Structure 1
């Protein structure tokens, strides 16, 4: 599955070609807030983000189509490296993994979240995901990101 990272859009830098990419619903108000939360706390700049409808998703995610058939909110994509194949995490696993990537106390919360069985975590996640537009509304698909994040927001 390493071919997925080889087909990423030209705008994707070499650094992001092996970095985690958090794909999100670009029209979801909650997803927008969650991306802003994660990006503002990722002081090492390890996490990249892109919309699920963008070019990066179209190039990166097709090998995982069967896993992503019912996903419309958040996907954490881990590109292939010399030591691992490309992979995706969805639902609560993606959210907890992002917390771990942020480090510090967030990483502890991400680890502790795995105490709760996945079927319970994912059930809560899916229930919330179904209601996210009612609770947080929609946002303009064309966001203005802070200048220091722009290199990490992929097409």
Structure 2
């Protein structure tokens, strides 16, 4: 088992996002209208006691530029994107990288890496494709809580 999933290939510098952010802080870009995705962000807000993580909705210009930069679709936000220590992670690998960054006991999520990547991606894709039907969808990105607002970019 490796320490973290293999990150996505870095994007070229010419595709830099339109808004600067402190790359020393981990960033999660998520579907802001997805109830499941927003729930994941709320979970990270509770677990991240050091308040290191920053967040952006995929629907924001900043989030969309990051999705493009890392080769993700911008017409259907069926993956989340985590950027940790300059490395980009998507799909289930994003979840594993985020949980590992939180430390123990959440680091135990790395056990998912024993599954071959095609299986991890297949499992993630099944949930992602049905996330609105399973968990619901908001009409628009909700007004963030004060705690999320202070850590939201874009």
TM-score range, shorter chain: 0.7 to 0.9
| Structure 2: gaps of 5 or more residues | 1-11
Deviation (angstroms), 1:71: 5.4
Match of 2:78 in 1: 72
My pick for the range that moved more, 41-50 or 144-153, is 144-153
**Contact kept in structure 2, 1:71 and 1:90, CA below 8 Å:** no
Q: Between Structure 1 and Structure 2, which shows a larger proportion of helix residues?
A: 1
Q: TM-score, normalised by structure 1?
A: 0.77
In the alignment of these two chains, the number of paired residues is 140
1:82 is aligned to none
The corresponding residue for 2:60 is 54
Q: Provide closer, same or farther for how the CA distance between residues 126 and 44 of structure 1 changes in structure 2, counting only shifts above 3 A.
A: same
Shift of residue 89, structure 1, vs aligned partner: 1.2
SS at structure 2 position matched to 1:18: coil
State the Cα RMSD in Å. Answer: 2.3
Question: Do the aligned residues in 2 keep the contact of 1:96 with 1:113 (CA within 8 Å)?
Answer: yes
| SS in structure 2 at match of 1:73 | coil
- Structure 2: how far apart are the matches of 1:135 and 1:33? 13
